[in-house]
Structure 1
């Protein structure tokens, strides 16, 4: 056999479909791209996009899942522990618990507990109480004569701790609501007192004005100018009588 005699098996390779060669081929005028739109234009290659329908990579099931009940631990390395001991924040002669990690500033908050990780070298002999630890971390602590105590929490204890936390949150919320209601009541009472004071002042003001009106009316209530007004009326008949006598 020679190289120029090598060929594929019959039917293993198919020629590409020729498009734009008449309606009888099924790929005629629009060449299978349809009418207008983004997918009918040249230079468009949206990988995995299927025109809006759910694409294949989202239709198929994925690997694994997100456990909503997973514990969230604060992780502390051996190097970080030794650094805190060297800085004098942690006393290696006393038992090291999660609260010690928090008070010393090694962790900011406890979450669901503390987990000890390897990485670094431990020089001090310590006894550490944690909620979890890697094999490397346990080996590093035991190498210098220390001890790692891992807390085993049962379901009943876990439920009990959750119930305590829930009760504490409810109590804090109730106290906050009570303080808020008390403050609003005090502000309302203060507003009512202010309104009542204004009302009393307003009611007292007309009384004072009524008491002062008689004094101001006395000088005005002396109309002595009515006498001259009556004089023309009395003279008028005299003129009329004279006129009548003259006419006669």
Structure 2
């Protein structure tokens, strides 16, 4: 094989459809644009969602909801995940290393989901009231 013999794969390249080139082509005269109107004209089109001057749907409907920008920095971990972790001392870096919370996480909170029998010492991690009771019942501490 030489550089001057390389060709694209069969069927991978095809000619662009040439419109407006006479009656015989089947796409002459109006070139598939129909008759008159904004869409038939050169340079005549509109922005996305434009409804001809009528108030667009996206502006007629009420605004709803809110998503906090700080949400991506908050993470939660369950009691059952802590049980499976099997570490005596747990902090945010331990959880990140184990892949239980995302690397972006700054604030971590333990939620009461599942059972905990291991004695844990939590450092710099929050907990819900139910989770705190479960951790202390197992002989653990929150730091």
Q: State TM-score, norm by structure 2.
A: 0.50
1:147 match? 141
Q: C-alpha root-mean-square deviation of aligned residues, in Å?
A: 2.8
SS of corresponding position for 1:140: helix
Shift of the alpha carbon at 1:69? 4.0
Alignment of 1:1-248 (within 5 A): 53-55=55-57, 58-59=59-60, 61-70=62-71, 72-85=73-86, 90=87, 92=88, 95-149=89-143
Instruction: Decide whether aligned partners of structure 1 residues 142 and 100 sit closer, same or farther in structure 2, where only a CA change above 3 A counts.
Output: same
SS of corresponding position for 1:66: coil
Instruction: Decide whether aligned partners of structure 1 residues 135 and 68 sit closer, same or farther in structure 2, where only a CA change above 3 A counts.
Output: same
d(CA) in 2 for partners of 1:67 and 1:107? 18
Shift of the alpha carbon at 1:58? 4.3
Task: List, as ranges, runs of 4+ consecutive aligned residues in structure 1 with deviation greater than 4 Å.
Answer: none
Structure with more relative contact order (C-alpha pairs < 8 Å, separation 6 or more): 2
d(CA) in 2 for partners of 1:113 and 1:68? 14
Q: Gapped runs of 5+ residues in structure 2?
A: 1-50
More helix by share: 1
d(CA) in 1 for partners of 2:123 and 2:109? 10
d(CA) in 2 for partners of 1:65 and 1:108? 22
Q: Gapped runs of 5+ residues in structure 1?
A: 1-49, 150-248
d(CA) in 1 for partners of 2:113 and 2:70? 28
Q: Which has the larger radius of gyration?
A: 1
Shift of the alpha carbon at 1:83? 0.9
Cα deviation code 1:109-136 (max 9, x no counterpart): 2422322121011101111124432222
